[in-house]
Amino acid sequence: MRPAAVGEILLQKATSPLVDESELRAVLAAAKVAAATGAASLVGGAWRTVRLLASAARCTLQAGRGDLALPLITTAFELCPEPFRRLTSLLSEQGAVDGCALARSMLAVASLQGGERDIPAVVCTALMVWQGALTATASKSSCLRGFLRFSQVAGQIFTELARDTSTLEKLSACWLYNTLAFADRVGNAKAVAFYLMQEIYNETHPPDLRALTECGFVCAAGKNACLRVGLHGPEVVAKWDRLCTALYAEGCALLHAAQEEMRRRASRATSVLREAFTPESTYYLSEFRRPLHLSPEEATILREAAVGKDLCVPRATFTLLRVACVLRRFSGREEHASAGGFPVASVSSVVAIALRHRYADIAAELLRAGSSQRLGDTTLLLWGRELESLLDGATKDSGGRGVDCTAREQVAAHAHAGEPAPLLHEIPQEWCATDVLQLLATAEALEDILPAGLTMIRGDRALGRQLLSDKIVPSFVLDGLSRLVTRLVDEGDLPLARCFLPLLAGICERIPSQANLLVTLHAIAAFAQGCSNDGADERWTAIVSALLPLLPPRLSGMAPPYRQTKSVVVGRTFSSRRRVFDALCGTPPLVTAVQRHCQLQVRLTGDCKGVRLVRCGSVEGATPWEKILPVGKALLDVVANMIEIEVQNRRHLDAAPCKDAPAWEEEEPSRATEAVNSSEVERQRRQARADWWGQRYAFDGALQNIIEKMQSDEIFGCWRVAMCGDLSPSCLVELEKVAAKLLEDIEAPVHHMSDVTLLLAGLPFLVVHRDAGSHVLFSPSHGAAEGACASCDAVLHSLSAALEMELLKHGIAAASTDVFAVSRGACLCALTNMWNAMPALCSSNSGHRDLRALPRTPLYLVLDNELHRLPFEGMDVLRAGNVARVPTPTFISTSGVRSVFFRGGVVYCVIDPAGVMPKTSKRLLPVCQRSGWTTNTHATFPSQLMQELYSSRAKLYVYVGHGRGESLVHRGELYERFPELGEFPAVFLMGCSSAYMESGSSHDSYGMPYAFLHAGCPLFLGCLWHVTDGEIDRLTKRLLLLLAGDDVDDGLGPLPPPRSVGEALALARRACKLPFLTGCAAVLYGINLSLQRDEADDEETTL
C-alpha cells in the first residue's frame, strides 16, 4: 500500500466511526503498514499514528461499536514505544502492577521527547477509551478480575498523569462511570462494590472489611484518586445509587433468609423457654426457691443451643449490607450527596437483627449509613445520634446517671398526708420511654437499673409495650434485665430476681438468637446457683450443672456475691434496697439520735465453725466488744432440731380435726369430768384431747430444751450476758473500777478488761435458773455481814463461784486459792452498785431488791440468716422482754424514730377477716371496741386497707387471723413501697408463722417482718412458727389490754405497767399455757417502742 494511501485512511477514520469489520481490517492494516514501512512520518511520526487510532476508537465507541473500538485501541498501544507498550499486557497480568511507578517511567521517557509534550494526555485518552471499550463489550462471561486490575492501574495512571484538577475530574468521572457500568453489564455488583470499597478504605475504616478484594488483589490506599473525585454528575451518581441499591437488596435477601433459617432452628429452644416460664409469675413468691418448670434435660437442650451455631447468623452474612452502607455513606460526602434510590427505610430492621446477634459495631456502621431522621417510622424510640451514642457506649461511663429523670421532685410530688407512699415502679412511669431505655442499656448500679426494670414488670403496660414493640429496643432491654438479675443475686435478693425471669424468657423467645439465649441463660444460671447453694431441691443442682459452663467470669469492678460477704455483712439485701429508694429521693438517710440502747450481732463465721458476737452501745466512739465462740456446729445442730420441731408441730396442727381442735384447746383434760360420763364415745373424745394436749406439752418441752441448750456452755454459756442491755452510765463506770481492781488483784492482763466488765454487768444472770420467773434478791447490808441473811449469802456465794469458774475457764485468772475470795469481793462491790442503781420503790420490806429487774437499755439483735428461727427471747437474759430484732446494724440510727409514746393514738384492728374463727372474734372484739380504735371484721382489698390505714392516721395495725394476712397487705407491695418512717403504723400480725423468715447462705432473710420494716413500719410483732388460735388469742388479748393502759391481773396479782412494747409482750407471754411453744413464738422486729411519755418525747409521735 502506498504511503499516501496509508495516511489518507488514518486521517479519514480518526474523525469518523467505523461501521463494519471491513473498515476495521483496513484501518488496522494501514496502521501496521505504516509502522512497518516508516510511512508514519508522513502523518507526524509514531505518536501521530497512536493519536489517530485512539481518535478513531473514540469515535467508534461513541457510535456504540465497542466491538470495533477495542481492536483499534489495543493496536494503538501495540504501536507505542516502551514503556508505553507494556500497557498492552494489563489484561493478562497475573501479578501486581504498580500503576504509579509505570506512570512515572512514562513521564520520564516523554520528557526526553521534547516535541511530544502531549504524550501523557494521549495515553490517558487512549486508556479511557480502552476502559470504555471493555465496558461496552462486557458480558456475564467477561473476566472480572482482568477488568478490575486494568481499572485499578488505569486509575493510578490517571492520578499521576493528569496535569490539572479539571482534567482529573473528567477522567475520574469517566473512569468511575465505566467501572459502574461494567458491574451492570456483567451482573456482579458484589465484586465491583468490594473493589470500590477497598479503594476508599482509608476513609471508611470498617474494622474487618479490608486487605483483599473479592478478586484477590490489594488496593494501595491513596494511589487512585479517581473514585474520590469522580463521584459527581447525575449520570455517575445514578449509576452509584443503582449499584448500592442492588447490593443492599441482595444483602437483605441473604440476611433475612439466614434469619428465617435461624428462627426455624431455634424452635426447639424457644419451645422449652415458653413451656418453662409461661407458668412463672412476675410477683413475689413466698416459696421463691420452688424449682422452675425446667428439667435438667431441658436445661441441657438450652445450653447446647447456646453454645452451638444453629442460633447464630454469622458476621459474614452482613457483608453485602455493610459494603452497600459504606458506599452509600461515602456518596453522601460533601457535594456528592446522593438523592437516589437507596432503601434507607429498612436500615432499622437490619440494625435490629445485628443487635439481636450483638454485632454492635455492624449496627453502628449500618446506622451511620441511614438518615439522621427516623425514616418515617414513628415507632422507633431512638435513631441517629441518640442510638449511635448508645451503640458506641458513649454513656457507659455515666452508669445511667446522666439520665435526667427528675426523680426527687417526682417522689416528693407523691407524698401527700393521709395517702400511702408511691411504689417504686410508679416513679419511672412518669419518665419518658427513652430514659427507661437508657438506664436499662447502660446502668450498672442497682440503684439505677432496678426502678427501670420494675417498671417493665409492674408498671403501666403502655410504657412496656412501647419499649418491647420497638424494632431495636428489646435487645437492650434483655441485656439490662439479665444484668439486673445478676446484680440482685449478688445482693442476695433471690425473691425479686425470680420475678424478672419470665419477662427475660419471653423476650428471648420472641427474638431468638445465640446471643439472646446466652444472656437469658446467664440470668437463669445465676439464679439457679443461688438456690442450689442452700441444699434446696436437687433439681436446682442439676440445672446449675447444666448451665454453669455458660456463666461468664466476674468482672473486677463487680461487688462480691452475697455468699462471700454473708459472714461479715448482715442485712446486705435490706441495705441495698434502701439505697435504691434513697437514691431516688435524692437525699442520704439521716442518722438520728435515738434512745440509749445496745446492739448484739450474732453471726456465723465463714466456715460455719464459729459464732461471732459483736456488741456495741449507743455511745458514740465506744469500742465494740467482740468474741468468736467455737460453737458454730452446735448452734447449727440446734437450728436443725428447731426445724424438725417446726415441721412436726405443723403436721400435728394440720392433722387435728378442724372442728374439734378448738374444743380440745379450750380446756385441759380433767379426770373428774371424765368420770361423770362413762360412755365410750365420750371417753375416746377425752382421750384424744388428752393425747392432743400431751403432744402440745411435748413440743413445749422440746423448745424449752433448745433454749436451755442455747444458755448452756455448749453454746453461749456465760457470754449470753452480752445479750443484757446496758446499765446506767454511772453504774457502768463503777463496774469498770471493780473490774480493774479484780484484774489487779489476780494479776491478769489489762486486755481482759472488757470481758470482765461484761461479766460483772451481767452478774445476776451468770447462774442459769430454769424458772422463768426466778429472782435474784440481794441487799448489800446483808451481803457485807456473812450470816446476816442466808438468802443473800447463797446469792453471793453462787455468783462468786460462777465468776471464779469463768475467770479460770477463759484463762483470765491463774488457778490459786485466792481467786474465789477476789471474785467474792468483786461480786459484792458489783451487786452493791447495782442495788444502788435501782429505784428505792423496788425494795421489799427486808431491803432486798431483785437485781434481775435492774433497769437496762433495750437490746437489739442483729442475727445471721439461719438464726432467725431460734427462740432467743426465751433465754433467761432476755425474758424481761426489752429486746427486738433488727435487719442491719444501722437500722436503729437511720430509722427516723427516737421513741414513740404508744397510748392515745388510732389502732386499726382486723379480726378474722375470713370469717372462720368465731371464737377468736368473741374473745378479741370486746377488747378492740373502744374509743379511738377501728375494728374491721370483713375482707377488703389490699389497696383499700392501705388507704384506710393512712387516712385514719393509724399508729398500730393489728391483724388476727390465719397466716400472714397477705391477702390484705402483700409483702411484694411492702418491699416496693417508698419507706415512710414517720407515717407507717406499727404492725402486729397475730397469725401462724407471720414472722417466719426464709433465709440461706446465698440470699438474705425474706419475710413479712423485713417487708413491713422496709416500708417504714417502726415495729413488727409476729409469730415465728404455727400456733393455735386459743393460745395466741390469750396472748393477744393481754397484750392489747396492756397497750391500752388497762389494769391487768394474771391471778397472782396486778401486773406492773410495762415501759415498752417488749415488756408488754413479756407480760403477755405469761397468759399462755405453753410458755415456750406459744409464748416464745411471738417476737418483735424493729424498734422496741416506749409506752411511757418522757419530757424529751413531747414532740414525738403518739399512738
- 59 located within any domain: yes
- What is the residue whose three cell numbers read 384447746? 665
Does residue 835 sit in the same domain as residue 874? no
Instruction: Give the whole-number percent of the chain exceeding pLDDT 90.
Output: 43
Angle between helices 473-490 and 347-356 (to 10 degrees): 30
Does residue 319 sit in the same domain as residue 235? no
- 583 located within any domain: no
Using an 8 Å Cβ cutoff, are 110 and 120 in contact? yes
> From residue 29, how far is each of 7, 33, 34, 759 by CA, in Å?
12, 6, 8, 126
- 814 located within any domain: yes
> Residue 899 pLDDT > 80, yes or no?
no
Cβ neighbors of 60 (< 8 A, separation 6 or more) are 17, 18, 66, 68, 69, 72
> From residue 993, how far is each of 29, 883, 1009, 1011, 1026 by CA, in Å?
112, 20, 11, 14, 5
Distance separating alpha carbons of residues 344 and 383, to the nearest angstrom: 12
> Residue 347 pLDDT > 80, yes or no?
yes
- 645 located within any domain: no
CATH code of 875's domain: 3.40.50
Q: Of 231, 252, 273, which residue constitutes the final position of a domain?
A: 252
- 235 located within any domain: yes
- 587 located within any domain: no
- What is the residue whose three cell numbers read 468511575? 176
Average pLDDT, the chain: 84
- 921 located within any domain: yes
Calculate mean pLDDT across residues 659-676. 50
CA geometry: angle 926, 1048, 871, nearest 5 deg: 95
Does residue 746 sit in the same domain as residue 764? yes
Distance separating alpha carbons of residues 315 and 365, to the nearest angstrom: 13
Using an 8 Å Cβ cutoff, are 605 and 612 in contact? yes
Instruction: List alpha helices for 443-593, DSSP H.
Output: 446-457, 461-468, 473-490, 494-499, 501-510, 514-532, 538-547, 562-565, 572-585
Side-chain half-sphere CA neighbours of 539 within 13 A? 12
- Summarised one tens digit per residue, pLDDT across range 126-159 is 889 988 999 999 888 888 888 888 888 888 888 8
Using an 8 Å Cβ cutoff, are 869 and 639 in contact? yes
> Residue 1019 pLDDT > 60, yes or no?
yes
**Quick one: pLDDT at residue 505?**
96
Angle between helices 473-490 and 514-532 (to 10 degrees): 20
Identify each DSSP E strand in 796-929 by its residue range: 849-850, 859-863, 883-885, 907-911
Give residue 794's identity as a one-letter amino acid code: A
Range of the domain at 521: 262-328+342-392+426-563
Does residue 838 sit in the same domain as residue 930? no
- 613 located within any domain: no
Give residue 814's identity as a one-letter amino acid code: A
Does residue 978 sit in the same domain as residue 843? no
> Residue 1095 pLDDT > 50, yes or no?
no
- Summarised one tens digit per residue, pLDDT across range 271-317 is 999 999 999 999 998 888 899 999 999 999 999 999 999 999 999 99
Residue 468: phi and psi, rounded to 5, are -80, -20
**Quick one: pLDDT at residue 662?**
46
Distance separating alpha carbons of residues 597 and 857, to the nearest angstrom: 5
**Quick one: pLDDT at residue 322?**
87
Using an 8 Å Cβ cutoff, are 613 and 629 in contact? yes
Bigger pLDDT: 322 or 90? 322
- Summarised one tens digit per residue, pLDDT across range 369-398 is 665 554 445 667 887 788 888 887 644 544
**Quick one: pLDDT at residue 636?**
96
**Quick one: pLDDT at residue 342?**
47
Using an 8 Å Cβ cutoff, are 1012 and 859 in contact? no
Does residue 219 sit in the same domain as residue 270? no
Alpha carbon 1037 to chain centroid, angstroms: 45
- Summarised one tens digit per residue, pLDDT across range 856-884 is 999 999 999 999 999 999 999 999 889 99
Q: Of 225, 252, 279, which residue constitutes the final position of a domain?
A: 252
Does residue 1019 sit in the same domain as residue 1079? yes
**Quick one: pLDDT at residue 718?**
95
Domain count, the chain: 4
Using an 8 Å Cβ cutoff, are 646 and 869 in contact? yes
**Quick one: pLDDT at residue 312?**
93
Does residue 166 sit in the same domain as residue 185? yes
First to last CA, the chain: 130
Does residue 772 sit in the same domain as residue 879? no
Q: Of 822, 850, 878, which residue constitutes the final position of a domain?
A: 850
Does residue 245 sit in the same domain as residue 289? no
Helix (H) or strand (E) holding 59: helix 46-62
Distance separating alpha carbons of residues 326 and 767, to the nearest angstrom: 86
Bigger pLDDT: 932 or 907? 907
With CA atoms as reference, report the closest residue to 831 among 720, 711, 721, 734.
Answer: 734
Q: What torsion, rounded to 10 degrees, do the Cα atoms 1050, 1056, 1062, 1068 define? A: 10
Does residue 227 sit in the same domain as residue 282? no
What's the pTM?
0.86
Calculate mean pLDDT across residues 176-186. 91
All three cell numbers of 941: 382489698
Does residue 164 sit in the same domain as residue 211? yes
